[in-house]
Amino acid sequence: MTLAVFACDPAQSRGRRFAQAPAPTRSEYQRDRDRIVHCTAFRRLVYKTQVFLNHEGDLFRTRLTHSLEVAQLGRSIARSLGLNEDLVEAIALAHDLGHTPFGHAGQDALNECMAAFDGFEHNLQSLRVVDRLEERYPQFDGLNLTFETREGILKHCSPAHAQALELDEPGGVGRRFLDRTQPSLEAQLCNLADEIAYNAHDIDDGVRSGLITLEQLQEVALFDDFRRQTLAEYPHLQDKEQGRRLLYETIRRMLSAQVYDVISATRQALEAAAPASVEAVRQLAPLVQFGQEMRAKSQVLKKFLLHQLYRHPRVMHTTGQAGQVVRELFAAYLDRPQEMRDGFLARFDAARGVPDEVSAAARVVADYLAGMTDRFAAHEHERLTGCQLLS
Ligand code: MG
């Protein structure tokens, strides 16, 4: 398959921070993807959640299945647009590596704990995982990924954090947040594929959990249009017993429509802007996009999920407890760093005596906590506090 002129070409990569000889058979982005799949943080995604906690049910999405869905949607769109599928896959599989246990509740709680020490942000943490925290190579910390994969992983970044990154790596991945330029199309695509994936699977998980119903979803045009269309074609799905097939067929149609919409709207934007290179793409406004109508419909769905699912009292109750688990664990490890495993005590001790040692020590605890799976965090909390909040 030939790459478009505006796609990232591994032969033109800006390279890795530590120079390495090329692999005999794999491209640089394939190699990135392979490194990600084999890393420890990737395996942990299977026990980390998005909305529901890992122990709430075996069929809910975890961050691992979510990342696979993002990679699938991303690759499928990338192929149609002539973008680099390997790069899209690498970014998609790595995009959630820095997430704390317990979804956004965990991230918010950890950010609170780190308020006096530059905060905690999951995008920045994903970059930290692949740049520093993974310990797999004799020559360097992290996975030593290409610039393009790292650029895609760092989706958002505050100006203060971008300044710090720029100091550490001049002209590196922090730069675009200071210059206000865009990342590659492959990175832009992963953002949108992420959104398409969670909007669809949160409907599925929400209905399965009983927190939202097919009736409630009738107020969401993006969903309801396809539900009606499905019923018109397969009237036997009216039967309550067939509810699951109706749900899946509706979601399938909704996903396809969004994918085709992104392909056609992005193609139009690319034709109009006619970028002749990846560098040209970086200087333009974002080009990977929904058409206007789909964008509006997708906003309605997002709003629905926010109010009916993410802020559902049952979800809020568990996430409230999850936040408490993270806050109490943070305090416990700061107080008793010897309770941390896997070399984190050594990292904590190494933080003593460096300039700003309190902040450096807190960062070690944040790294340790962020790496935990839901169940490990819950067990650790029970072990260290004697109190069972999540079970
Ligand atoms: Mg995601």
Same domain, 373 and 278: no
Q: Is 6 a member of any domain? A: no
Beta-carbon contacts of residue 72 (< 8 Å; ≥ 6 apart)? none
Say what the pLDDT of residue 222 is.
96
Q: Is 111 a member of any domain? A: yes
Say what the pLDDT of residue 168 is.
94
Same domain, 32 and 135: yes
Q: Is 227 a member of any domain? A: yes
Ligand 1 centroid distance, CA of 242 (Å): 30
Same domain, 261 and 303: yes
Ligand 1 centroid distance, CA of 124 (Å): 14
Could you give the CA distance from residue 54 to residue 51 in angstroms, rounded to a whole number?
Answer: 9
Same domain, 288 and 332: no
Could you give the CA distance from residue 320 to residue 337 in angstroms, rounded to a whole number?
Answer: 25
Confidence tier at 50 by pLDDT (50, 70, 90): confident
Same domain, 297 and 335: no
Tell me the two tokens of residue 110: 């950890």
Could you give the CA distance from residue 292 to residue 223 in angstroms, rounded to a whole number?
Answer: 17
> Other C-beta atoms within 10 Å of 37: how many?
13
Taking CB atoms within 8 Å and a gap of at least 24, the contacts of 381-384 are 381/325, 381/328, 381/329, 384/328, 384/329, 384/332, 384/336, 384/339
Beta-carbon contacts of residue 307 (< 8 Å; ≥ 6 apart)? none
Residues 151-157 have a mean pLDDT of: 96
- For residues 368 and 114, is the Cβ–Cβ distance under 8 A? no
Ligand 1 centroid distance, CA of 324 (Å): 23
What percentage of the chain reaches a pLDDT higher than 90?
87
User: Taking the chain, what is the end-to-end CA distance rounded to the nearest angstrom?
Assistant: 49
Could you give the CA distance from residue 82 to residue 226 in angstroms, rounded to a whole number?
Answer: 29
Is pLDDT of 110 > 70?
Answer: yes
Ligand 1 centroid distance, CA of 317 (Å): 23
Residues 318-327 have a mean pLDDT of: 92
Tell me the two tokens of residue 256: 């396809």
Ligand 1 centroid distance, CA of 96 (Å): 6
Residues 163-189 have a mean pLDDT of: 97
Could you give the CA distance from residue 71 to residue 194 in angstroms, rounded to a whole number?
Answer: 9
Ligand 1 centroid distance, CA of 321 (Å): 22
Same domain, 120 and 199: no
Same domain, 302 and 338: no
Residues 260-287 have a mean pLDDT of: 98
Which pLDDT tens digit goes with each residue over 324-363?
999 999 999 999 999 999 899 999 999 988 889 999 999 9
- For residues 6 and 277, is the Cβ–Cβ distance under 8 A? yes
Ligand 1 centroid distance, CA of 329 (Å): 25
Instruction: Select from 314, 340, 355 the last residue of a domain.
Output: 314
Instruction: Select from 314, 338, 353 the last residue of a domain.
Output: 314
Ligand 1 centroid distance, CA of 62 (Å): 10
Beta-carbon contacts of residue 313 (< 8 Å; ≥ 6 apart)? none
**CA angle 86-92-96, nearest 5°?**
150
Could you give the CA distance from residue 371 to residue 226 in angstroms, rounded to a whole number?
Answer: 39
Q: Is 19 a member of any domain? A: no
Which pLDDT tens digit goes with each residue over 198-241?
999 999 989 988 899 999 999 999 999 999 999 999 999 999 88
Q: Cα dihedral sign for 89, 93, 98, 100? A: positive
Same domain, 242 and 139: no
Same domain, 262 and 223: yes
Q: Is 3 a member of any domain? A: no
* 59-68, 99-108, 295-304: range with lowest mean pLDDT: 59-68
Ligand 1 centroid distance, CA of 44 (Å): 15
Confidence tier at 103 by pLDDT (50, 70, 90): confident
Total domains in the fold of the chain: 3
The whole-chain average pLDDT of the chain stands at 94
The structure tokens 């949160």 sit at 202
Instruction: Select from 263, 280, 314 the last residue of a domain.
Output: 314
CATH number at residue 62: 1.10.3210.10
Could you give the CA distance from residue 58 to residue 269 in angstroms, rounded to a whole number?
Answer: 41
Could you give the CA distance from residue 125 to residue 363 in angstroms, rounded to a whole number?
Answer: 11
Say what the pLDDT of residue 54 is.
59
Say what the pLDDT of residue 209 is.
87
Confidence tier at 57 by pLDDT (50, 70, 90): low
Ligand 1 centroid distance, CA of 144 (Å): 22
Ligand 1 centroid distance, CA of 366 (Å): 20
**For 265-289, b where at least 16 C-beta lie within 10 A, e where not — what string?**
bbeebbeeeebeebeebbebeebbb
Say what the pLDDT of residue 1 is.
66
Q: Is 20 a member of any domain? A: no
Same domain, 199 and 298: yes
- Phi/psi class of residue 213: alpha, beta or left (left: φ > 0; alpha: ψ in -120 to 50)? beta
Residues 96-112 have a mean pLDDT of: 94
Q: Is 44 a member of any domain? A: yes
CA 8, chain centre distance (Å): 21
Same domain, 233 and 331: no
Could you give the CA distance from residue 279 to residue 24 in angstroms, rounded to a whole number?
Answer: 27
Q: Is 50 a member of any domain? A: yes
Residues 359-386 have a mean pLDDT of: 95
Q: Which domain holds residue 353?
A: 323-385
Same domain, 338 and 305: no
Ligand 1 centroid distance, CA of 195 (Å): 7
Q: Which residues pair with 49 in a beta bridge?
A: 62
